[in-house]
Amino acid sequence: MRIIRGKYGRRRFDVPTNITARPTTDFARENIFNVLENLVDFEEDAPTALDLFAGTGAVSFELLSRGCSHVTSVEKAATQASFIAKVAKTLGAEAEHTLVRGDAIRFIERAGAPYDIVFADPPYDYPDFAEIPSKVLASKLLHPGSIFIIEHSAKHDFSALPHFFDHRAYGSVNFSIFLIPK
């Protein structure tokens, strides 16, 4: 896993071979962060962020590296959660990072506080995958001005949902972006 840019940029971490996650490719992650940086002033705003289905934590650490004041990673699998905790400790980012080892859908349903950026990268074969954007959009995770991004395969089209802003495809990786009006 490589952190692309920011204060932790160019740092590399060896991902355990027994991780079952499908990490977002460096190419796709770099491009979606270029889009995100045109929507958010990380240095000035120091947004808070949530990484649902965090996997290796690559998105979480990219968010921290680029200037988020705090990032919460939600990951159910023990191997992935342990790896995320190890990377946070290695980076000395424990004060700006919270790891929640649990089910992302339960986290969405029980959410009490909103975030400035919410990123979701569920497994493509996740049951009821198509319902995740609606659940996030209806939750308390978002506030006016929030950005929600979901990574998905080409078989999904979320453009009819409220607050849909843009769709980006980088190879086989697709992102739907939602902007909550201020």
70 belongs to a structural domain? yes
- Average pLDDT value over all residues in the chain: 94
Q: Is the pLDDT of residue 10 over 90?
A: no
pLDDT of residue 122: 95
CATH number at residue 107: 3.40.50.150
39 belongs to a structural domain? no
Domain count, the chain: 1
**112 pLDDT tier (thresholds 50, 70, 90):** confident
Distance separating alpha carbons of residues 123 and 105, to the nearest angstrom = 13
pLDDT of residue 12: 83
Distance separating alpha carbons of residues 33 and 24, to the nearest angstrom = 12
Of 69, 72, 9, 70, give the one whose Cα is nearest residue 44: 69
The H or E element that residue 166 is part of is strand 164-170
2 belongs to a structural domain? no
139 belongs to a structural domain? yes
18 belongs to a structural domain? no
150 belongs to a structural domain? yes
pLDDT of residue 82: 95
Of 104, 5, 125, 95, give the one whose Cα is nearest residue 54: 104
**114 pLDDT tier (thresholds 50, 70, 90):** very high
130 belongs to a structural domain? yes
Domain that holds residue 133: 46-179
pLDDT of residue 25: 79
Q: Is residue 111 a contact partner of residue 104, using CB atoms and an 8 Å limit?
A: no
86 belongs to a structural domain? yes
